[in-house]
Amino acid sequence: MFPTFEPARWVRNPHLQTIWSSLFKEPSPPYQANQHRVTLSDGDQIVLHDDVPEQWRDGDPIVLLSHGLTGCHQSAYVVRMTTKLNERGYRTFRIDLRNCGAGFGLAQLPYHAGRSSDLLESLEFIHQQAPHSPISLVGYSLSGNIVLRTIAENPDQLPEYLVTAVAVNPPVDLYRSVLTLNTWMGRIYDRHFTRQLIDHLRRLRQQAPEQENYKLSKIPRTMYEFDNVYTAPMAGYDSAKHYYAETSAIRILPQIQLPSLVLTANDDPLIPVEMFDGLKKHDAVTLFVAPHGGHLGYRGRPGSDPDQHWMDWRILEWLEKNGRSCSNKLVSSFVA
């Protein structure tokens, strides 16, 4: 289906693939998006960053992009994909999940792996701005799980304007992903993400010291401990294990009916590829496992694509094939 990923010679190691973008920053285009604050049904707010190509008109395709853990609208992979899509006539919305990016301090409750309702409410907001346009979802890492939950929970009730979804390196079995961190290299990732999450809460407390929802009962040392003492109780779950069991997409993946792509790597150091075995013969979901690529890496050899970001071009190929279409009912409504 897709060309085989050939890693660049200097980043063949999956860990180098994973951390490359954080080690070497590439120049980004100037920020020119319009910001929309979306008030969610529970009163919290999130921010959508709206980039509209000059030639775009209502009825042309839209893509909603959602970042991974500790990311935001400025995450390199989101910015790159936005630029590529805008150049090809797609209007894009980049979501800042609760208290991330431009939405910092606008929410009392945390984002987490099960917040599919946030994506659905964002989709409805976007649809109100462009009622004749088909919309596609793209979620990276943690948001990949959210995207898959969004299209799996109530597949018969999805809006007709949502035409396809892409999940890149999604941790569809959260507990298994956390267990993967219990290795010598995994602990480095574990400490990194835990420190970032603690620092994020610390900055929220500095901005709103009176806000009890931003306080930790004790300082966690691992992702599991963070989810156990903060994410799970704040999201209404009894424990980290309960949170993982309830929000992991793996248990409801068979319910997906929307044509979708799951893109992952055989050597992802954070997401064991075995958790995708149940998707190999799924009627609606196309699973593509690259032999290499790490976690959201996929830094390829020069020459095969216009640039070395193999992941971006595969997502774009999928959206070009599936993201410009509309259901028959939606087309009928356009004509009416």
Domain boundaries defined on the chain? 9-172+248-328, 174-245
Domain 9-172+248-328, CATH among 3.40.50.360, 2.60.40.10, 3.40.718.10, 3.40.50.1820 = 3.40.50.1820
pLDDT of 76 reads 95
Q: pLDDT tier at 326 (50, 70, 90 boundaries)?
A: low
pLDDT of 334 reads 42
Helical H runs in the chain? Answer: 14-23, 76-87, 116-129, 142-152, 174-180, 184-207, 223-226, 232-235, 240-247, 310-322, 328-335
Tens-digit pLDDT profile for residues 122-177: 999 999 999 999 999 999 999 999 999 999 999 999 999 999 999 999 999 999 99
Q: Does position 329 have pLDDT exceeding 80, yes or no?
A: no
Instruction: List, as one string, the DSSP characters of 163-182.
Output: EEEEEES--SSHHHHHHHTS
Which helix (H) or strand (E) is 264 found in, with range? strand 260-265
pLDDT of 335 reads 41
Number of Cβ within 10 Å of residue 80's Cβ equals: 18
Q: Does position 328 have pLDDT exceeding 50, yes or no?
A: no
pTM for this prediction = 0.95
